[in-house]
């Protein structure tokens, strides 16, 4: 069964119904105080953010995470010299609490060492998909409990940053396969890693080619065009979409440039400043991920991707699907034991834009 996926808009403006007449208010009532109340509540409950970085080893994923959050989230693991390449794709997760101006953020970073490192990389995305689905499953199980917790711990991956190696040509088949599969499940932000090996012109050409590739293969990366609500969002997001994938450089060492202390990479021919827009697009990535679209990432994950997963799961529950990496949290019934479900590599069909937004 090919599941149909519907992606409704995460939040739409209030429908104007004839039942709700707008009322003139003669004086101040104080409704806008509810915004402050919201803020206070949010500060109290705290925030969570789960990010996953995917890419081949040596592309600077761990360094990038450290640069993004300006802390030693990850210890970058240098490749063991002469040591065995890990035969299996392993996912590592670390959780930290970072605090800024009284605001606590529980950050979970998931790394995927070993991705695309084998000779035969067939189906190397399956463990990743399995992990993402497992987080959805965990949330779903919590949600359908009878007595559920006041605040369900959110471990779902909100954003997946995909590192494209700076070949300068176009997307490789592995990249295309991975992006195609993951875009339906999670918000994917592709970036060009180690962009300091490309000149500005090469970067632009590479970017255009990647964008063309994405369009050809119908890969919908974040920010998705179909979730733009109003004209402001669309303008903002189209500017971002124009620059995707960002060409980023990661660095966690500080150097002295013109008397200022900046994060950068020191080379013989100069210092690549990470936060300099002329050098790389790291600020754009940081702004997108943290400063402007963090809540949006979470909302889309909750309202769209999670709902899609839930629909499929509840619909297929009587067929008992056995996708790769699917952990069965239900006790085995006699039916399951006698008839082993077929191993399904779920084929997602693309939904066309005939949905209402």
Q: Under rule CB under 8 A, which residues in 322-341 are in contact with another protein?
A: 324-325, 329-331, 333
Q: Does 147 bind another protein (CB under 8 A)?
A: yes
User: C-beta of 267: minimal distance to another protein in Å?
Assistant: 22
Contacts (CB under 8 A) with another protein, residues 228-287: 229-230, 286-287
Task: Compute the distance between CA of residue 54 and CA of residue 113 in angstroms, rounded to an integer.
Answer: 8
| φ/ψ (deg, to 5) at 337 | -70, -35
Site for another protein (CB under 8 A): which residue of 75, 82, 119, 150? 150
| DSSP line for 133-167 | HHHHHHHHHHHT-SS--SS----S--EEEEEEP--
Interface segment toward another protein; rule CB under 8 A; list 54-62, 139-147, 191-199, 347-355: 139-147
User: C-beta of 205: minimal distance to another protein in Å?
Assistant: 31
Which position has the token pair 């009587």? Answer: 318
In the bound state with another protein, the residue whose beta carbon lies nearer, of 194 and 293, is 293
Closest CA to 193 of 168, 223, 221, 174: 168
In the bound state with another protein, the residue whose beta carbon lies nearer, of 2 and 201, is 2
User: C-beta of 198: minimal distance to another protein in Å?
Assistant: 26
Contacts (CB under 8 A) with another protein, residues 14-43: 14-16, 19-35, 37-43
Task: Compute the distance between CA of residue 194 and CA of residue 169 in angstroms, rounded to an integer.
Answer: 15
Q: What SS3 state is found at 44?
A: helix
- Give the x-and-dash track for 79-98 against another protein (CB under 8 A): --------xxxxxxxxxxxx
Interface segment toward another protein; rule CB under 8 A; list 102-110, 173-181, 218-226, 242-250: 102-110
| DSSP line for 179-219 | HHHHTTTS-EEEEESSGGGS-HHHHHHHHHHHHHHHHHTT-
């Amino acid at each position: 069964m090919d599941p149909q996926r519907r992606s409704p808009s995460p939040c739409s403006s209030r429908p104007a119904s004839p039942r709700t007449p707008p009322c003139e208010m003669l004086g101040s009532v104080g409704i806008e105080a509810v915004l402050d109340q919201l803020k206070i509540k949010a500060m109290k409950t705290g925030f969570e953010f789960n990010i996953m970085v995917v890419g081949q080893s040596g592309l600077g994923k761990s360094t990038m995470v450290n640069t993004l959050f300006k802390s030693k989230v990850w210890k970058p693991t240098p490749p063991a010299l002469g040591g065995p390449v890990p035969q299996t794709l392993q996912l590592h997760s670390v959780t930290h609490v970072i605090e800024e101006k009284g605001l606590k953020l529980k950050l979970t970073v998931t790394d995927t060492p070993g991705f695309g490192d084998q000779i035969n990389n067939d189906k190397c995305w399956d463990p990743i998909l399995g992990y993402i689905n497992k987080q959805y499953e965990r949330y779903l199980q919590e949600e359908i409990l009878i007595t559920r917790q006041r605040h369900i711990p959110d471990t779902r991956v909100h954003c997946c940053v995909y590192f494209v190696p700076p070949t300068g040509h176009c997307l490789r088949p592995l990249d295309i396969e991975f992006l195609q599969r993951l875009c339906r499940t999670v918000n994917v932000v592709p970036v060009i890693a180690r962009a300091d090996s490309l000149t500005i012109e090469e970067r632009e050409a590479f970017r255009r080619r990647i964008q063309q590739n994405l369009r050809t293969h119908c890969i919908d990366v974040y920010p998705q065009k179909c979730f733009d609500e109003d004209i402001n969002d669309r303008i903002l997001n189209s500017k971002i979409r124009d620059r995707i994938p960002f060409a980023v450089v990661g660095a966690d060492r500080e150097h002295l440039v013109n008397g200022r202390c900046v994060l950068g990479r020191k080379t013989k021919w100069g210092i690549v400043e990470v936060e300099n827009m002329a050098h790389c697009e790291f600020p754009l990535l940081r702004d997108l991920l943290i400063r402007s679209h963090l809540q949006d990432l979470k909302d889309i994950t909750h309202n769209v991707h999670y709902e899609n997963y839930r629909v499929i799961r509840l619909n297929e529950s009587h067929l008992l699907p056995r996708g790769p990496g699917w952990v069965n949290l239900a006790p085995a019934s006699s039916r399951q034991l006698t008839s082993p479900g077929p191993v399904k590599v779920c084929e997602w069909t693309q939904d066309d834009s005939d949905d209402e937004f």
